[in-house]
Amino acid sequence: MSPKLLCKTGIKSLDDILSGGIPSGYTVLLAGSSGTGKTILTQEFLMKGAKIYGEPGVYVSLSEAPKKMIANMENFNYFDPEIINSGQVRVVELKSEDGLRRGREPEPERILRTIRNLVEDNNAKRVVIDSITAICRALKDEAVIRQFITDLADSLEVLYCTSILISEIPPREIAYSVFGVEEFVSDGIILLGEFERKGDLLRTLQVIKMRGVEHPRNKEVMGITKNGITLMPMFKAYGE
């Protein structure tokens, strides 16, 4: 069997950890609490994917208006308004007709169809869903959640899309998801965390798993600069 093609994240230090990048077509769970850098990391993944590698992307948001998200991206040097204006990267808010904001039970197939249509209509090769936790919370039933995530991952792989599902977890807990289902149907897990050192709250990144990829599992100190995400081994960050 030939080796799987890689989807370079565009974040060099993360690609180095992943031996080149995420295998194309994989579904990766990006877990972290509020303020750990989930949105910034995934926006850089999409922007650099389009800008450097010519891969269109879609950011599917359930909680934040597209205009606000785009305004936040403008703070970074990798942001290129032409990529947004040309539709190479689209930021889309999942609409209320998908059942996530109504009193009635949401319809998993309708949500899947909406996401599939967004991918196909934009010829997207990279997809971010922010957040899978919000969808799972609406679906409630564990069996329905498992089937939904499995169907979503299968759909995106068939469309040859590399996807990142944002998972919102409580701070400083050893968990990758709220429902305990999402991680078992994902091809990879990247955990963002934080810890206090000498009065400073530092962000961390740790690749927990990536099927078929040889990678270290140690924590890296994650910085956020105007140029985007930076990663550094803890012993270097501390000068030890």
In this predicted model, which residue has the larger pLDDT, 240 or 78?
78
Contact (CB, 8 A) for 222 and 8: no
Q: Is the pLDDT reported for residue 47 higher than 60? A: yes
pLDDT tier for residue 197 given thresholds of 50, 70 and 90: confident
- Local confidence band at 56 (pLDDT 50, 70, 90 cut-offs): very high
Per-residue pLDDT, 101: 57
Predicted confidence (pLDDT) per residue in 23-43, tens digit: 999 999 999 999 999 999 999
Instruction: State which amino acid sits at residue 169.
Output: I
CATH number of the domain at 6-237, please? 3.40.50.300
Domain ranges of the chain: 6-237
- What is the identity of the amino acid at 212? G
Q: Which of 223, 222, 189 is nearest to 205 (CA)?
A: 222
Nearest to 152 by CA among 29, 2, 12, 55: 29
pLDDT digits (tens, 9 = 90+) for 102-121: 555 568 888 899 999 999 99
